[in-house]
Structure 1
Amino acid sequence: MSSSPESGWEPQPPKLLDGRLKIRHLVLIDALSRQGSVIGAAAELHVTQPVATRGLRDIETVLGVELYTRGPRGVVPTIFGEAFTEHARAVLAQLNQAGRHVLELTNADRGTVVVGTHLAGSNVLLPRAIARIKAEHPLLTVVVREGTPSTLLTELEAGRVDMIVGRLTAPSTPIITRIPLYDESVEVFAGAGHPLASSARLALADVGDHQWILPGVETSLRGELEKVFTRFGIPLPTQRVEATSYLTVRELLRETRMLAVLPSLIGRSDAGLTPLPIDLSTINHSVGLTVAADRPFSPSARALTACLKRVADEELR
């Protein structure tokens, strides 16, 4: 059938409010896009593979388009799948927040705020802000979830976290708002007893053949470090461990002669670590909040945000 203006017919949007589309369908789409396979999504949702397959088929029937291409290694979202996943996560986020908001209306001090964090925010800014908010609202619950930036963004979009605290490495978008709180530099750190700890001056070339702990390849800091090594014509250390957990990095630095790049505030706050005099001034980013642009904060989230801003203004700038 022609869809030209002369024919008098125009395609109509799918009817998503006629009762066929269920919330469980949106949950399935979120899981499929994260897991990349029907088997993985079914396992996560504790349903059988045929149930998940039937659910996907039902959604595609309602929408009238194919959301995923099927292959031997799993499923890949089509352009329709990518678009619908974004909307599904937005709806789920609103529903998650609605349930919590209703609960908080009974007593705002008894609410819950869920914070995602990665290295730059997890060991100085966030703990201090949590200490403050617990002093002001002792019955408020703060849930902290650590993860990679990309994983946490997915959690934020789906409403499973209220905000992310960490380095800001990209500008705001129509979907995501990034709020700078303070500027953070990074330095090369070693254990306090490392042979290089007393060095007055070092170049990156002097330590390129040492054992290193590097951030994971999924982090922006890893990419920036690789650029610095390339700029100085130094190959990436072959003797290396890759880790993003600060607890792991700290213990390795203390117990071995490895080197690692850490945010200055984190490394300098640990008496068991010492900064080495190596210039990494080209790596400098803001630390701040990443939030959903169109989602209002709950009372608990607003309270924690205020504490984070006060800590940044009064102690970290």
Structure 2
Amino acid sequence: MNLPKLLDGRLKIRHLVLLDALTRQGSVIGAAAELHITQPVATRGLQDVEEILGVSLYDRGPRGITPTIFGQAITEHARAVLAQLNQAGRHIVELADAERGTVVVGTHLAGSSVLLPVAIARLKNERPSLTVIVREGTPAALLAELEGGRVDVIVGRLTSPTTEFLSRTPLYSETVRIFSNSQHPLAKVTTVNLRELISYPWILPGSETILRRELEEFFARHDLELPQNRIEATSFLTIRKLLMVGNFVAALPSLIAADARNLQPLAVPLDNIGHSIGITTASTRALSPSAVALIDSLKLTAKFLEH
């Protein structure tokens, strides 16, 4: 296979943007809608890139498209290029006004209710002109945003080690416990029977999360099926409200629930289910001064949470 000529002017920035959207959306229709172009234009753009590279980038199926090994590889490189361009524009802005700037931080359930708000408040006290944009999402969606340069840093649970493309820095360890409201029938029980607990309505994390898989394994070890009466949710605002208005129970990171009034842990050991909270950044690009400032604030805040 001859080395494709990617610098001869045929490959455009719009092609890279299209590849990123196609891989995230999993369909030509979805990518076209996101980019505000017609489906034929998106299809032609994909055909152009495949012609330039000389390989098939996606497998077409009845439910959409799935990247081939070539498609996944070129998407990673496309996101890296787009991230560098986004970073370049913001770098110019920050050089023009050192006190201003923008940092985009992604977060999911762990770390979102205590660590991040406190760190942002500390940062804004020192740099009031700096803009902080917080984006919530699933871990997979946030990683795609990070790779594409739309997010500078992710705060939350660390589930994988540092790689060639992603740098992960642990900040503190956190346990997971089962919580209810303080008026729950099991709130005053010194030893909760798991089979009795199963009979109550549960709030479980989404099936795409690591915590959900850990809970499934926990129930399996105790020869129990997943609770039939359940809701799946990852938004802490939704979870907290449900816990307050009914006899729901939920497995939550300890710090999140500890900061919420009228919630309390039940006397149920979770076999040491816990996790490391930290920050994830892209290894392939330099951080902006604003991102560095936020990370410094996160590290300082984490030291206080450990004690």
How does the TM-score come out when normalised to structure 2?
A: 0.97
Residue 312 of structure 1 is matched in structure 2 by 302
Residue 101 of structure 2 is matched in structure 1 by 111
Residue 240 of structure 2 is matched in structure 1 by 250
Following TM superposition, by how much is the alpha carbon of 1:201 offset from its aligned partner in structure 2, in angstroms? 1.9
AA matched with 1:186 = V
Residue 15 of structure 1 is matched in structure 2 by 5
SS class of match (1:265): helix
Residue 291 of structure 2 is matched in structure 1 by 301
Of 259, 270, 273, the residue aligned with 2:260 is 270
1:208-244 CA distance string (max 9 Å, x none) = 1111000000110000011111111111100000000
1:192-271 map, 5 Å: 192-271=182-261
Residue 92 of structure 1 is matched in structure 2 by 82
CA distance in 2: counterparts of 1:79 and 1:86, whole angstroms:
11
SS class of match (1:193): coil
Residue 172 of structure 1 is matched in structure 2 by 162
Decide whether the 8 Å contact of 1:203 with 1:279 is kept in 2. Answer: no
AA matched with 2:79 = R
Q: Which runs of 5+ in 2 are unaligned?
A: none
2:55 is the counterpart of 1:65: yes
SS class of match (2:106): strand
2:68 is the counterpart of 1:78: yes
Of 17, 20, 33, the residue aligned with 2:23 is 33
Following TM superposition, by how much is the alpha carbon of 1:52 offset from its aligned partner in structure 2, in angstroms? 0.6
SS class of match (1:200): coil
Decide whether the 8 Å contact of 2:155 with 2:280 is kept in 1. Answer: yes
Residue 144 of structure 1 is matched in structure 2 by 134
CA distance in 2: counterparts of 1:122 and 1:108, whole angstroms:
28
Decide whether the 8 Å contact of 1:108 with 1:300 is kept in 2. Answer: no
Following TM superposition, by how much is the alpha carbon of 1:281 offset from its aligned partner in structure 2, in angstroms? 4.2
The structure that has the greater radius of gyration is: 1
CA distance in 1: counterparts of 2:196 and 2:92, whole angstroms:
59
CA distance in 2: counterparts of 1:72 and 1:233, whole angstroms:
38
Decide whether the 8 Å contact of 2:218 with 2:271 is kept in 1. Answer: no
Q: Which segment drifts farther, 65-74 or 182-191?
A: 65-74
1:159-179 CA distance string (max 9 Å, x none) = 110011001112221111110
1:129-176 CA distance string (max 9 Å, x none) = 000000000010110000011111111111110011001112221111
Q: Which runs of 5+ in 1 are unaligned?
A: 1-10
Of 29, 32, 37, the residue aligned with 1:42 is 32
AA matched with 1:255 = V
Residue 135 of structure 1 is matched in structure 2 by 125
CA distance in 2: counterparts of 1:218 and 1:36, whole angstroms:
17
Q: Which segment drifts farther, 203-212 or 260-269?
A: 203-212
Decide whether the 8 Å contact of 2:178 with 2:266 is kept in 1. Answer: yes
SS class of match (2:260): coil
SS class of match (1:121): coil
1:14-58 CA distance string (max 9 Å, x none) = 111111111000000001111111111111100001111111111
AA matched with 1:172 = T
2:148 is the counterpart of 1:158: yes
- Superposition RMSD in Å: 1.1
AA matched with 2:8 = D
